[in-house]
């Protein structure tokens, strides 16, 4: 939840802001910094209408594409981001972590200097460009104390896992076992 600690909500909401809504650096309410359940102006009725307007096939595809993180067609949940909405802090986070962990899982064991430089550029761009501003700021602070390890696939996967765990802890979630990054992001379960 983006409202549960000061590190998650660095900008104090104005009294007119709904609880949990996070202010962006421009002083305006920031949708992509805030969980959908805390967005103002959403109602069960409008969500139900927008969901039922979509065909079952489209809704099912959207649900698959987002890992199930959109409201289902048959039973819209007012707290679940509908497929046609812009991303909230959680959907953007899941998509970004998926991209980063998967990219790390397929990074070379012995990258060339150019590959290392490109990976460093990608990582260093995050605190500058990530659209959830307080997420970006905290990630940048974390990186100051924990320099990116772009030496190879194993090191990068672990470094990213540890950064993700920092966010997990901040949000009150369980830490992920960093010995299982390949299973989660490359090989799948062994069964
Ligand atoms: P996610 O945390 O998105 O994880 C997706 C999947 O990754 C999990 O299902 C699990 O299988 C796997 N996983 C979990 N942990 C690890 C790990 N350590 N290593 C490898 N795999 C793992 N949200 C905020 O509210 N406040 C913030 O300040 C904030 N900062 C963020 C900073 C960055 C750089 C990013 C990319 C996201 C940030 N987020 C932040 C979003 C937040 O991390 C989650 O993505 C979001 O809350 C959705 O969480 P989730 O429980 O669905 O799973």
Task: Report the separation in Å between the CA atom of 53 and the middle of ligand 1, taken as the mean of its atom positions.
Answer: 31
The series of mean pLDDT values per 10 residues for the chain, 191 residues long, is 41 62 90 91 51 40 44 71 95 98 98 98 98 97 98 98 98 98 96 77
Residue 37 Cβ contacting ligand 1 at under 6 Å: no
Return d(Cα 71, Cα 78) in angstroms, integer.
Answer: 8
- Domains of the chain are 89-187 (1.20.120.310)
Instruction: Please report the pLDDT score of residue 191 as a whole number.
Output: 77
Residue 51 in contact with ligand 1 by CB distance below 6 A: no
Instruction: Check residue 110 and give its pLDDT.
Output: 98
pLDDT for 149 equals 98
Predicted complex: ipTM over 0.95: yes
- Give, using CA atoms, the residue closest to atom 20 of ligand 1: 161
Q: Whose CA is nearest to atom 34 of ligand 1?
A: 139
Q: For residue 43, what pLDDT is reported?
A: 52
Instruction: For residue 154, give Cα distances in angstroms to 24, 44, 100, 101, 188.
Output: 35, 45, 13, 11, 16
- Minimum CA distance residue for ligand 1 atom 25: 2
24: helix, coil or strand?
Answer: coil
The pLDDT of residue 181 is 98
C-alpha 106/C-alpha 130 separation (Å) is: 22
């Amino acid at each position: 939840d983006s409202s549960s600690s000061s590190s998650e909500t660095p900008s104090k909401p104005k009294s007119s802001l709904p609880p949990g809504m996070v202010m962006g650096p421009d002083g305006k309410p920031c949708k992509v910094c805030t969980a959908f359940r805390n967005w103002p102006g959403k109602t069960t009725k409008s969500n139900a209408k927008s969901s039922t307007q979509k065909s079952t096939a489209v809704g099912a595809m959207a649900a698959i594409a987002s890992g199930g993180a959109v409201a289902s067609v048959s039973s819209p949940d007012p707290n679940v981001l509908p497929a046609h909405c812009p991303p909230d802090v959680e959907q953007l986070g899941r998509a970004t972590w998926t991209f980063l962990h998967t990219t790390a899982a397929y990074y070379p064991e012995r990258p060339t200097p150019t590959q290392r430089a490109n990976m460093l550029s990608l990582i260093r761009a995050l605190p500058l460009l990530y659209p959830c501003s307080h997420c970006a700021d905290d990630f940048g602070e974390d990186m100051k104390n924990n320099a990116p390890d772009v030496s190879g696939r194993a090191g990068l996967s672990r470094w990213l896992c540890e950064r993700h765990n920092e966010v997990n802890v901040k949000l009150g979630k369980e830490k992920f076992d960093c010995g299982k990054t390949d299973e989660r992001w490359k090989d799948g379960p062994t069964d």
